[in-house]
A and B are shown apart, each in its own frame.
Chain A
Amino acid sequence: MQVYLPIAEVSVNAFLLLGLGGIVGILSGMFGVGGGFLMTPLLFFIGIPPAVAVATEANQIVASSFSGVLAHLRRKTVDLRMGTVLLIGGLIGAALGVMLFNQLKSMGQVDLLVKLCYVVFLGIIGGLMFIESLNAIRRSRGAEGAVPQRRKHGLVHALPFKMKFRVSGLYISVIPPLLVGLCVGILAAIMGVGGGFIMVPAMIYLLGMPTKVVIGTSLFQIIFVTGFTTLLHATTNFTVDIVLAVLLLVGGVIGAQIGTRIGVKMKAEQLRILLAIMVLAVCGKLALDLLLTPAELYSIGTAGGH
Chain B
Amino acid sequence: MRRLFVLLALVLAPYMTAAQSEEIVLGLSRNEVAITATFDGSDVLIFGAIKRNAPAPAGGPLEVIITLAGPDQPVTVRRKERVLGIWANTDAVEVDSAPSFYAVATSAPLADSLSAVEDLRHSISIPRVIRSVGAPDSVTDAESFSDAIIRIRAGSGLYQRLEGQVDVEEETLFRGQITLPAALTEGAYSARIFITRDRTVIDTYETEIAVFKAGLERFLFEMSRNQPLLYGLMSLAIAIAAGWLASAVFRIFQR
Contacts of A234 in B (CB 8 A): 224, 228-229, 231-232, 235
CB pair B185 A9 closer than 8 Å: yes
CB pair B228 A299 closer than 8 Å: no
Q: A11-B182, A70-B247, A298-B145 are in contact. Are A4 and B37 (CB under 8 A)?
A: yes
With CB as the reference atom, state the residue of chain B lying closest to A236: B228
Contacts of B217 in A (CB 8 A): 4, 6
Whether B10 sits at the interface, judged by CB under 8 Å, is no
Contacts of A289 in B (CB 8 A): 87
CB pair B79 A298 closer than 8 Å: yes
Whether A64 sits at the interface, judged by CB under 8 Å, is yes
Complex: how many Å from CA A227 to CA B235? Answer: 9
Contact of B88 among A112, A249, A305 (CB under 8 A): A112
CB pair A7 B183 closer than 8 Å: no
Complex: how many Å from CA A71 to CA B225? Answer: 36
Interface size class of A (residues with CB under 8 A): 35 or more
Contacts of B148 in A (CB 8 A): 296-298, 300
Whether A257 sits at the interface, judged by CB under 8 Å, is yes
CB pair B243 A291 closer than 8 Å: no
Contacts of A299 in B (CB 8 A): 77-78, 80, 89, 152
Q: A2-B40, A230-B235, A246-B238 are in contact. Are A238 and B224 (CB under 8 A)?
A: yes
Q: Which of B41, B73, B183, B218 has the most chain A CB within a 10 Å cutoff?
A: B183
Contacts of B246 in A (CB 8 A): 67, 253-254, 256-257
Whether A117 sits at the interface, judged by CB under 8 Å, is no
Contact of A11 among B41, B85, B231, B242 (CB under 8 A): B41
- Can you list, as one digit per residue, whether each of B226-243 has a CB less than 8 Å from chain A (1) or not (0)? 001101111110111011
Whether B27 sits at the interface, judged by CB under 8 Å, is no
Whether A109 sits at the interface, judged by CB under 8 Å, is yes
The chain A residues found within 8 Å of chain B, CB to CB, are: 1-4, 6-7, 9-11, 47, 59-60, 62-71, 74, 109, 111-112, 116, 227, 230-231, 233-235, 238, 240, 242-243, 245-246, 249-250, 253-254, 256-257, 289-294, 296-305
Beyond contacts A300-B153, A303-B95: 12 other A-B pairs, Cβ-Cβ < 8 A, are A4-B37, A6-B221, A10-B183, A66-B239, A67-B242, A230-B236, A249-B239, A250-B242, A256-B243, A256-B246, A299-B152, A301-B76
8 cross-chain CB contacts under 8 A: A11-B182, A65-B243, A109-B88, A291-B87, A294-B87, A300-B148, A301-B77, A303-B74
